[in-house]
Chain A
């Protein structure tokens, strides 16, 4: 039996800076996951991923990551994705410093 589809966001690394970006409903790349489009339909997710992957001069390595609805917008569910919204834990660098 196929596993139930869990909500997703499209994420990637920005081409120049290499940092994490998320795809919004109006096709912008945002550095704030809360502004991302939360995808709840599997077929729509596959389509959004294909569209994202076609934007080769803006990003690298697009994929679908699990997310859940939060008070301000989508939030990560796995710790790896949570780190991507913040930056490393040994220095105040990356998104947490911006």
Chain B
């Protein structure tokens, strides 16, 4: 893992000290809220419905056990004993008190973490495939590039006041687990015809009120050009992006309004101007970063115990069927720990659970943990012979739910239970859907299905790319839920289509149940997923299930 050098350490400590002074001045009244707000946002501190919220970056989703333990410590000491993991590989604390935040930041700095640029119109936490460095289908580990981008973008003087927030995601695998096509810049490591490795550069994707699938700006970018090329994109956007209307300020609108060709020409021109300024120092740095991400020394051990445990224990077998992913090394597996037990808040982990996961990573997982954009926690490198012991420890901590990728593995944003911008709640809807399908005992039969819920049009819960998306709205002072179908956040990204009129809070869960059980009758075989069936059949049969003729008047 990357280690802070003296410069990083001094920078983060200086920011904490600065912010401590700003908080003191806010509390004694010498700073007004208008003056303080941009300062707190630069340090990840929001003011929400019931309290402040501190958003801490987990760079490219990677944590070691000491960091996870510190997150648990912070949750206990200054919050209510839990944290919320988000779709952008951050952790959010929902209950900090203003006067405690500098101490929380200091505690984060002790384990080389911070909350800088987790808000504001800056380049945000660079996210990456949560299976990076472990996945069997990977060309190269994307994290060294994500770290390079992070160092370049952190406190970059030119990019502290962009027209709007700017999000970058990187993946090194053919299967896109980082939703790169829904980011301002998406980077996919690819091999060209000559066998060289470089980046496909995607630009202008985004969700929010105007969802757009990113477009390919460059089919193949040599690796050494990564920083100057990204800098060219951001600086073209910085000049061209609209500052007159915040709903039109994201780069997706800039690309849409100016056309891809014009953006391409401008980026190429800017790239030619600045590339020589990157005199190779970045490549030296990259080599140092790469050394820090060297793969662990994998063990060679028999896996007979694992196979025997699978045969002996059906619950363990079911968990291994659902929560494991193929690892690039023989005898190893990637473990996805579900923090979505049926009925729980998606993405929340208690400090005790964080400690259990940290201990497992330290004991069995080469000290590595990941946060996935699907709001789960990953142990990327686990030898199969250790899986029975891991399963047992997870079960004892209520962390062994076998539901990865299934109907109850729901992404949900905080919604109106916490968020000041929300138009409706999302967490209770997720809890009720998961509980209902658990009662029906059909989620393994249903198979892969991604439900994603946002509490307003900002789409933090990725509803546009859910196979089933749910958007909570305020219709004349009442919560109302709109369904979209056919969204997809992988390499075949698509934006879901609206199914029809929304449903009330009482009707939305039965509607989802109808939709999903209806799909079971429509599918050609148990292998045809919900998304595949939707793509084959189109909206009509699903619409007919959602809005049976006799109910039409009521649903409207």
Contact = CB atoms under 8 A, between A and B. Distances in A.
Interface string A71-98: 0000001111001100111110111000
Contacts of B26: 15
A88 B29 contact: no
Interface stretch (A1-9, A17-25, A36-44): A17-25
Contacts of B50: 18-20, 84, 87-88, 93-95
B97 interface: yes
A77 B427 CA distance: 22
**Chain A interface SS verdict (over half):** loop
Nearest to B427: A90
A18 B418 contact: no
A91 B51 CA distance: 14
B210 interface: no
A7 B281 CA distance: 64
A94 B33 CA distance: 23
Contact of A56 (B29, B95, B99, B478): B29
Contacts, number: 71
B99 A83 contact: no
A5 B277 CA distance: 61
A20 B49 CA distance: 7
A78 B95 CA distance: 24
Residue from B47, B49, B422, B425 whose CB has the most chain A CB atoms within 10 Å: B49
B345 interface: yes
A77 B97 CA distance: 28
Contacts of B29: 56-57
A95 B416 CA distance: 15
B431 interface: yes
Residue from A80, A84, A88, A89 whose CB has the most chain B CB atoms within 10 Å: A88
A91 B105 CA distance: 25
A16 B97 CA distance: 6
Interface in B386-419: 416-418
A15 B27 contact: yes
Contacts of A80: 49, 416, 422, 474
Nearest to A58: B29
Nearest to B51: A18
B19 interface: no
B47 A88 contact: no
Contacts of B427: 88-90
A61 interface: yes
A61 B47 contact: yes
Contacts of A93: 50, 80, 95
Contacts of A20: 49-50
Contacts of A16: 27, 97-99
Contacts of A95: 50
B428 interface: yes
Interface in B98-134: 98-99
Nearest to B82: A91
Interface string B44-68: 0001111110000000000000000
Contact of A79 (B48, B98, B477): B477
A13 B99 CA distance: 15
B52 A90 contact: no
Interface string A38-68: 0000000000000000001100110000000
Given A18-B51, A88-B417, A78 B33 contact: no
Count class of interface residues, chain A: 20 to 34
A89 B428 contact: yes
Given A79-B479, A83-B49, A18 B97 contact: yes
B28 interface: yes
B428 A18 contact: no
Nearest to B98: A16
A18 B98 contact: yes
Residue from B50, B417, B431 whose CB has the most chain A CB atoms within 10 Å: B50
A9 to B, nearest CB: 16
A77 B477 CA distance: 9
Contacts of B422: 80
Contact of B417 (A13, A19, A78, A90): A90
Contacts of A13: 47
A93 B48 CA distance: 14
A90 B27 contact: no
Given A13-B47, A56-B33, A18 B52 contact: yes
Interface string B414-440: 001110001001011001000000000
Contact of B431 (A15, A77, A90): A90
Contacts of A18: 47-48, 50-52, 97-98
Given A16-B99, A57-B27, A89-B428, A84 B47 contact: no
Nearest to B417: A88
A17 B78 CA distance: 12
Interface string B454-481: 0000000000000000000010011100
B32 interface: yes
A75 B427 CA distance: 25
A78 B479 CA distance: 10
A68 to B, nearest CB: 12
A22 to B, nearest CB: 14
B400 to A, nearest CB: 21
Contacts of A56: 29, 32-33
A60 B97 contact: no
Nearest to B30: A57
Given A15-B27, A56-B29, A90-B345, 7 more contacts: A15-B26, A17-B51, A20-B50, A79-B478, A80-B474, A83-B49, A94-B51
14 contacts: A15-B26, A16-B97, A18-B50, A20-B49, A20-B50, A56-B32, A79-B479, A80-B416, A83-B417, A84-B49, A88-B94, A88-B427, A89-B428, A90-B431
Nearest first, the 5 closest Cβ-Cβ pairs linking A and B are A57-B29, A88-B417, A18-B52, A18-B51, A60-B33
